Every structure is written in C-alpha cells, then in structure tokens.
Amino acid sequence: MLKKPAGNILDKDSTVLRTKPQLTTIQFQSIKGSIIKSIEDHSPVWLKVFYPKYDRVLHGIIMTADYQQQRIEIRTIRNQSEWIEIKNILNII
C-alpha cells in the first residue's frame, strides 16, 4: 500500500531556489553596451532576466537607465513599463 505524502507536493515553500550564474566582465560590458544602444536608438531588445525560480524573457525598448539604483526601465510590446535590476540580466539581444 502506498503512503500519501504529508502536505501538498506543490507547496511553494518546498520549491528549490536557483543561484544566479556569474557573468564575465566581457558579458557584462556587452549588456551595458546593448542597454545604451537601445536607449539611444529606441531599438527593441530581448532580455533574459534571472529570477530565483525561473528565467524570464522580455521583449521591448529600454526607455531609461537609473545607474544610481542599478536598474533599467523597459517598455514591452504590450506598452507596459517595467523596472529590471541590471544585476539580474543574464543576456540581451
């Protein structure tokens, strides 16, 4: 006879959190260059953003960069603005 596991298998508390991969200096400089280009040219970019439970991909135009708080504002295709911390960007195309 099988035993029923205690608690819900899908409990949020039981989710394993990932650690953010470390970027090389070259990768980080490339990301910064792409941010500046998107702001100046209003060219669309694809961002791959790290979150502890998943990676998120955003498509839009970077409107501004707040270097004091180390974050950028991206306006997505759906015309929504969102602030992203620069340290959480894994890749930018």
Q: What is the pLDDT of residues 42-67, one digit of tens each?
A: 999 999 999 999 999 999 999 999 98
Q: What is the DSSP letter of 86?
A: G
Token pair 């899908």 in the structure block, residue: 10
Q: What is the DSSP letter of 30?
A: H
pTM of the predicted model as reported, rounded to 2 decimal places: 0.76
Distances (CA, A) of 58 to 8, 11, 25, 92: 32, 27, 23, 10
Q: What mean pLDDT, rounded, does the chain reach?
A: 87
